[in-house]
Each structure stands twice: as C-alpha cells, then as structure tokens.
Amino acid sequence: MDMVTHRLRWRDVAPERRRFDELRATQLVSELLREWVNPGPERFGADYLESCIDLHLVQNFGIWISGWRSGSEGGPVISRLRMDDSPSQQVLSVTSAIKEWRSFLDEIDQVIAKLPFSTDDQIELRVERAAARLIPMVLKRTEAQEAWYNTCSLALNWYLEAHGFGDRDSRAAVRRTFSGQFQSWVEAPPERQITACERVGRAVAELAKKEKSAVDCLERWLEGRESSEAHFEHFPSLYPPLRSDGHAIYIKYQEKDDRMWSALQTSRRWAETSEPLTLSVLKQWQSLILGKQDIHLRTTDAFAKRGRERYSVSLLPRFEEFLSQANDDNLAPPWRGALLYLDICFFHPFQDGNARLARLALDAVLVRAGFALNYIEPLLVVARAAEDYRGGTTLALTVSDLMGEIPE
C-alpha cells in the first residue's frame, strides 16, 4: 500500500469523514488529465501522476479518499492507473479505484457494527472473532497480492480504534502477529488463519493488561529530543515554487473553521514582521483558535488515549527554552518548524487546541522564511510517538518534501 494508506487511522476514514460527490470527482480527474503534461517522462511515471490526482481529490473530499491508491503491495484496491491508457480510460481507472476503496470501507463498517469490543472482558475472544471476519474479506479483495497481510493489520487496527482501544503499541502488536504468519502471493490455508486469529487475540489481550499506568510522554520526548545541530545535510538550499497554499485550502474548504482561518491570517501577519516567536504570541493565536480571551498555561498534568499517556506539568517551564529555537535563522526552516510542531504537541502547553496551534506555528515559521506547504494532510495523519528519537528528522523531511517557495 502507498505510504498515506498505511498511516490512515480510523478517525481519518470513519463514515462521518467520507464526504464525496462522484460527479465532482470525475470532473476533477477529467480536467487534470485533459491538461496533463508530463514534466519529465524519464523521471516521472504513474506514481507522480497519481500523486497529482490524489492532491486534488484530498483537497476536495478529505484524506480518507487517498486509499484509492492502495492497489499495490497488498492493498484492497485492484484497479490501477496506467500511463499508456487513454485519458478517458485513466479516468475510469481512478473512479473504479475510488469505488473499490469505498466498498472496502463499507465492509469494515459492518464488522465494527456487528462485533462489539470492550477492554472490560473477553478481549482475546473478541479480537479473535474480528480477525476471523477480516482475514477472508481481505484475501478476497487483495487476491493475496504482495504483502496482503498488511491490509489485515490495517483493518483490525481500525476495528480496535473504532472501539476506542487502538494506539501505537496495539498497531505494532497486530502488525508483528500478521507479518509472521502469512506469505505474499499465497492464500493462507484455513488452519493458518485460525492460528493467526488466536495469536493476535492473545497479543492484544496481553497488551491491554500492561496498560494500567500512564506514560509520561513529555519526559520521553525530552530524553531523546534531537539536537539543533543534527541532520543539516538532509535539507536542500533550493525548493521548487509553491504550487498551492495547502494549509489555507484545508482550513477554508475542509475544516471550514472561521476561528482557525482568523488565526491563520494573524499568524501570517506576524510572519511578515521581525517580532520573535514568544509564548505571548502563541497565546494570542490560541485565543483566536479557541475563541477565548483569557489563555493560560495548563496547571495540571494532561492525559490522552484514555489516560494511558500523560504530559506532566512539572516539565512545562522548559517550554520557552525550546520555543526560542524557532527564532534561529541559522537552522533550516523545515527543521526548526518540525521541532516546534513536536514541542507544542508534547509539551501540550494549553488545556485544549494544541494540535491546531502546532500547525499554525509550523506554518508561520515556514512563511517567515518564504515557504509554505503545498499539501497539509500528510502531517495530520502521521502519528508522532514521544519515544521516536528521530521524530524531528522524519517530520522535517516530510515538511521538506511538501513545501515550496512562495512567489514574490
């Protein structure tokens, strides 16, 4: 499956997120293919064209639709776009792929609705039953292609997430179980499927037993936070021109949040000045995001994922120490923007709205340096783990791939 599909969570593809208009989608794809000129046939093939189509579809319908590209490496979509087809045939291929993806999501909905889940009792049995329903369904849709079991992992983790359980650890446990039981291009015999269902049930049940105490995510982040001197070689000195203002488009046409739109305009006006980024500036933006006048730092520990993750208040005074790094023009823009984004997420300075504030802060750092993001959605679906000590580099590389230079 393509990178984005692997990282989709249930909250990204849940029924309420699936805005769609088939006629509009067909028109968008037709218009793009009618005007398409390959910038370099020797370098850019079907993957590049699919990425351009996907950009338009996601901006109009949301990140959930990206799964239409999951037709390789065991994804549930069989229809593929081919470069040697006519534009009209390519349109049919894309629309067929979208229909296959939506049909797959509909089947997941039915499994979630028919098989309840609770961490209070019978976890092993409930997970085993869900896996037993999902494995044959995935085999049928993927035709047991390369790494088809990755789709099994994705589907089962969606089942868990839909019932409020799934997180990074459960996703890893499910993935390890399935990848060790099956082979590519081979439809697993019934006895192997039964064994896999039993093993994944036990793995999730054992994980649930261990999750009794909250992890201090802020402490973990600060233990391994990457130094500001690291990984300069990853970032080029020149970037292509900005194709579209992805963040503004997302806020205006997908979030449709007037407060976020106002905060974006305010943060970008700040970017046109020489005023340093301070806690006071962040509070002004946070006031607009939340629609509240009095914004204060949190005074108690913050919790997430049903209390399993904790952001301690005792370490919060160090936030301004790291915030000052965002003003260092000697650091590559994607690097300091990415670290600022993660610092806001893990310091969790305010009681609410921190993820939205992190987005604005990253945007403002880039805009001040003369850049913006063509595409914001990948940043919204990739989970960030506090113990991922290369998280800053990984996010910075993603930002670097997504950004372009703002025309003068």
The residue out of 210, 235, 269 marking a domain boundary is 210
Which residue shows structure tokens 């806020």?
251
Is 80 exceeded by the pLDDT of residue 306? Answer: no
- Please choose, from the candidates 82, 50, 89, the residue with its C-alpha nearest in 3D space to the C-alpha of residue 67: 50
More confident residue, 284 or 78: 284
Report the distance separating Cα 223 and Cα 227, nearest Å: 11
Residues 202 and 306 in one domain: no
Provide the CATH number for the domain around residue 223.
Answer: 1.10.3290.10
Check residue 189 and give left, alpha or beta (phi > 0: left; psi -120 to 50: alpha).
beta
pTM for this entry: 0.58
pLDDT at position 379 is 83
Is 90 exceeded by the pLDDT of residue 259? Answer: yes
Distances in Å between the Cα of 231 and the Cα atoms of 44, 299, 390 are 28, 35, 10
Task: Tell me if 368 sits within 8 A of 331, measured CB to CB.
Answer: no
The residue out of 162, 177, 210 marking a domain boundary is 210
Number of domains in the chain: 2
Residues 145 and 93 in one domain: yes
pLDDT at position 308 is 67
Is 90 exceeded by the pLDDT of residue 13? Answer: yes
Q: Read off the pLDDT of residues 285-296 as tens digits, 9 standing for 90 and up.
A: 999 999 999 999
Q: To the nearest whole percent, how much of the chain has pLDDT over 70?
A: 91
Q: Read off the pLDDT of residues 186-222 as tens digits, 9 standing for 90 and up.
A: 888 899 999 999 999 999 988 877 654 567 888 888 8
pLDDT at position 231 is 47
Residues 191 and 219 in one domain: no
Residues 222 and 204 in one domain: no
Residues 222 and 199 in one domain: no
Q: How many CB atoms lie within 10 A of CB 408?
A: 4
> How many Å is the maximal CA-CA distance in the chain?
67
Residues 199 and 330 in one domain: no
Q: Give the pLDDT band of residue 40 (cuts 50, 70, 90).
A: low
Is 60 exceeded by the pLDDT of residue 353? Answer: yes
DSSP track, 269-317: HHHTS-PPP-HHHHHHHHHHHHT-S------S-EEETTTTEEE-STTGG
Residues 330 and 302 in one domain: yes
Residues 8 and 118 in one domain: yes
Is 70 exceeded by the pLDDT of residue 327? Answer: yes
Residues 197 and 292 in one domain: no
- Please choose, from the candidates 208, 210, 249, the residue with its C-alpha nearest in 3D space to the C-alpha of residue 373: 249
- Please choose, from the candidates 130, 252, 146, 258, the residue with its C-alpha nearest in 3D space to the C-alpha of residue 196: 130
Tell me the Cα Rg of the chain: 22
Task: Tell me if 85 sits within 8 A of 115, measured CB to CB.
Answer: no
Residues 193 and 142 in one domain: yes
Q: Which residues contact 221 (CB under 8 A, 6 or more apart)?
A: 342, 346, 386, 387
Is 90 exceeded by the pLDDT of residue 22? Answer: yes
The residue out of 150, 181, 210 marking a domain boundary is 210
More confident residue, 277 or 392: 277
Q: Which residues contact 404 (CB under 8 A, 6 or more apart)?
A: 239, 240, 241, 242, 243, 371, 372, 373, 374
Task: Tell me if 303 sits within 8 A of 295, measured CB to CB.
Answer: no
Report the distance separating Cα 391 and Cα 7, nearest Å: 15
pLDDT at position 3 is 56
DSSP, collapsed to helix, strand or coil, labels residue 386 as: coil
Q: Which residues contact 255 (CB under 8 A, 6 or more apart)?
A: none
Residues 191 and 225 in one domain: no
Residue-number span of the structural domain to which 179 is assigned: 3-210
Q: Which residues contact 133 (CB under 8 A, 6 or more apart)?
A: 111, 115
- Please choose, from the candidates 316, 281, 282, the residue with its C-alpha nearest in 3D space to the C-alpha of residue 302: 316
DSSP letter at 253 equals I
- Please choose, from the candidates 334, 339, 341, the residue with its C-alpha nearest in 3D space to the C-alpha of residue 373: 334
DSSP, collapsed to helix, strand or coil, labels residue 216 as: strand
Is 80 exceeded by the pLDDT of residue 72? Answer: no
- Please choose, from the candidates 405, 402, 398, 396, the residue with its C-alpha nearest in 3D space to the C-alpha of residue 230: 396
Mean pLDDT of the chain: 87
pLDDT at position 98 is 96
Report the distance separating Cα 162 and Cα 14, nearest Å: 8
Give the mean pLDDT of 54-63.
Answer: 89
Report the distance separating Cα 286 and Cα 283, nearest Å: 5
pLDDT at position 345 is 92
